[in-house]
Amino acid sequence: MIAPKLIDLVADTTMHRDREALETAVARLLFEVCAAQRVALYRVLDDAGRRRVQRSVVLRAAGAEEGSEAGVPLERLPLLQSQPVWTECVLLQDVVHLAHGDDGAVRTVFPLHDASSVVGLLEVDTAHVLQPRQAALAAGMLRIVRNHIALLDDGQRDTLTGLLNRKTFEASFGKLVASPAQGQERWLAVVDIDHFKAINDRQGHLFGDEVLLLVSRLMRATCRRADRLFRFGGEEFVIVLDASVEGAHAAFERLREAVAGHRFPQVGQVTVSLGYTQVRPADSPADAIERADAALYYAKRNGRNQSRSHERLCADGHLAPKALNQDVELF
């Protein structure tokens, strides 16, 4: 491949700020660099400690096939260990070669990293074994992409907790509300640390920051990788996930119980209150947040350390369907 074309490919790939568009561009980059017959990009997702693989992009020389599995429920996706070559690639965090893949093609699997772990796999099928120069070039291109992802993360994530920030939530809300997993609904929860102002006043902001950091880690530990976690600022967080009604309540209760059961150094017990709502296709960010906030404020007014559904509170007559936020002491 001549240098100008290669430079154009890299430039086209790193112009993207949207993750899905970036994934497609990365697949096209590898398709060209490796003169591939097929390139498939998979996301590696966490499912309660088990890792699953979700097909995201497939390119073929004869035309695109195999649609994305974005709408497939997590439990129906294949486990990482179902393909030994996937497991080896993730464990080694390095390229793995398979003598023959589908249709007699030679398969090479590249890991796709974020700042700390393997978050995706790229399968590249070629007619012949990749030449060392091709493999090295492809690996180098992926390192450039990794650096680009790190730069994106700097602008999209909260500097203290590493969670996605409010700006990212607002910019990506349209995609957040579109196409929940089959047979499930999309839910949004607002999570607030109880009496956080008192923690800062008694212990100081250094310990307050440690509480924020530990709560964010508990969120990561109890939520799935496919769930979207945001820090909105101060002591407020937002979670967006796909689940049934029962599954959503169980997920939010699991987080609440994990925080309440954790021993925070110098602080002792810390609790959180959650308000959540089903996200509707016509929602704006403010619409969904308003309903979740109304449920959160109800939880705060009625004992804290609890998770409350806006829909259930409305059905039981505790909230009006479009309840307005009322002033309440949150700390």
Number of other CB atoms surrounding residue 21 within 10 Å: 12
Which residue in 171, 214, 207, 53 sits closest to 122, CA to CA?
Answer: 53
For the chain, the residue count is 331
Q: What average pLDDT does this structure show over 147-154?
A: 67
Q: What average pLDDT does this structure show over 285-310?
A: 96
CA atoms 149, 150, 154, 157: torsion sign? positive
Number of other CB atoms surrounding residue 242 within 10 Å: 24
CATH number of 164-315: 3.30.70.270
Would you list the DSSP string of 33-46?
HTT-SEEEEEEEEE
Residue 324's pLDDT band (boundaries 50, 70, 90)?
A: very low
Comparing 3 with 222, which gets the higher pLDDT? 222
Which CATH code of 3.40.50.300, 3.30.460.10, 3.40.50.11610, 3.30.450.40 fits the domain covering 3-154?
Answer: 3.30.450.40
Task: Report the chain's C-alpha Rg in angstroms.
Answer: 22
Q: What average pLDDT does this structure show over 148-162?
A: 76
Which residue in 97, 144, 86 sits closest to 120, CA to CA?
Answer: 86
Which residue in 182, 184, 177 sits closest to 282, CA to CA?
Answer: 177
Residue 329's pLDDT band (boundaries 50, 70, 90)?
A: very low
Alpha-carbon span 301 to 232, nearest angstrom: 21
Which residue in 111, 188, 175 sits closest to 149, CA to CA?
Answer: 111
Comparing 175 with 196, which gets the higher pLDDT? 196
Q: Is residue 115's pLDDT more than 80?
A: no
Percent of all residues in the chain with a pLDDT value above 70, rounded to a whole number: 83
Q: Find where tokens 């203290």 sit.
A: 160
Q: Which of 4-8, 57-61, 230-234, 310-314 has the highest mean pLDDT?
A: 310-314
Alpha-carbon span 186 to 203, nearest angstrom: 38
Q: What average pLDDT does this structure show over 277-305?
A: 94
Catalytic residues: 235
Question: What does the block give as tokens for 237?
Answer: 């967080």
pLDDT value of residue 156:
78
- For the stretch 214-255, pLDDT in tens is 999 999 989 887 789 999 989 999 999 999 999 999 999 999
pLDDT value of residue 187:
96
pLDDT value of residue 249:
96
Q: Are strands 96-98 and 236-243 parallel, antiparallel or unpaired?
A: unpaired
Residue 312's pLDDT band (boundaries 50, 70, 90)?
A: very high
- For the stretch 73-108, pLDDT in tens is 778 889 999 999 999 999 988 888 876 655 678 899
CA atoms 154, 158, 162, 167: torsion sign? negative
Which residue in 180, 150, 171, 197 sits closest to 71, CA to CA?
Answer: 180
**Range of weakest confidence among 4-13, 154-163, 283-292, 293-302:** 4-13
Q: Is residue 30's pLDDT more than 80?
A: yes
Alpha carbon 282 to its chain centroid, in Å, reads: 22
Q: What average pLDDT does this structure show over 110-122?
A: 82
> In angstroms, how far is the first alpha carbon of the chain from the final one?
61
- Specify the 3-state DSSP secondary structure of 30: helix
Percent of all residues in the chain with a pLDDT value above 90, rounded to a whole number: 41
pLDDT value of residue 29:
81
| 225 beta partners | none
Average model confidence (pLDDT) across the chain: 84
Comparing 9 with 217, which gets the higher pLDDT? 217
Residue 18's pLDDT band (boundaries 50, 70, 90)?
A: low
Domain map of the chain by residue range? 3-154, 164-315
